[in-house]
Amino acid sequence: MNKLWVGFATGLAALFAASSASAFSIALDVPVAYEFDDGGSADEVSGFKLGLGIITLPAVDFGLGYERYELTEDAGGTDATVTFDIIDVFVDIPFPFINIVIGAGMGRTEFELGTVSKSADVTQWYVSLGYPILLLFDIHVGWHQVMADEIDFTFGGLPATVDVSGTMWSVGAKLEF
């Protein structure tokens, strides 16, 4: 976890230092739904995505983001919890009536079921569509495709494999200053 924060801070510092931009953006998103690739859905989804961008070309943002999501699903009387920690890079391309953000990220996922706790690598890509308001603010909806390595573990003396890959929907807002 500390390595993710150090990587995020280093990348953000390099992005700011390399830019002669005069405008920045900050976006905050929250997840609203997560569907696993096997067809099941998470019972509860919580967390956030924070994105910081710099306008480096006329009206185009390049930036970094940090995501932390937690999914909870009932697994036969025991709650299974999946936590994602992801660092993103993105480009935000505004048009007169819509802002389009395309991003990709990588990080770790932690799967917990009872006393079992296993982690795996995760990557994702996402698209966000935003409606600009007064050129300084937008509200948006995002679609994330999350790809995680399968997690092998033993539960109740039996071997098991879980795949937490799936798609997530998010909503959020962005402010440019």
Q: Per-residue pLDDT tens for 36-85? A: 998 889 999 999 999 999 877 666 789 999 999 999 988 777 889 999 99
Q: Per-residue pLDDT tens for 116-131? A: 899 999 999 999 999 9
Query: Average per-residue pLDDT in the chain?
Result: 86
Given a cut of 70, whether residue 3 has pLDDT beyond it is no
- Record: fold of 2-176: Porin (2.40.160)
User: Domain segments of the chain: what residues?
Assistant: 2-176
Q: Which two tokens stand for residue 14?
A: 């390099």
Strand blocks (E) in 41-165? 44-57, 60-75, 78-94, 99-113, 116-133, 137-148, 151-155, 158-162
CB of 103 closer than 8 Å to CB of 65: yes
Name which of 7-21, 29-43, 98-112, 127-141 the model is least confident about: 7-21
Give the predicted TM-score (pTM) of the model.
Answer: 0.82
Q: Per-residue pLDDT tens for 105-115? A: 999 999 998 88
The 10 Å Cβ neighbour count of residue 116 is 16
Given a cut of 70, whether residue 17 has pLDDT beyond it is no
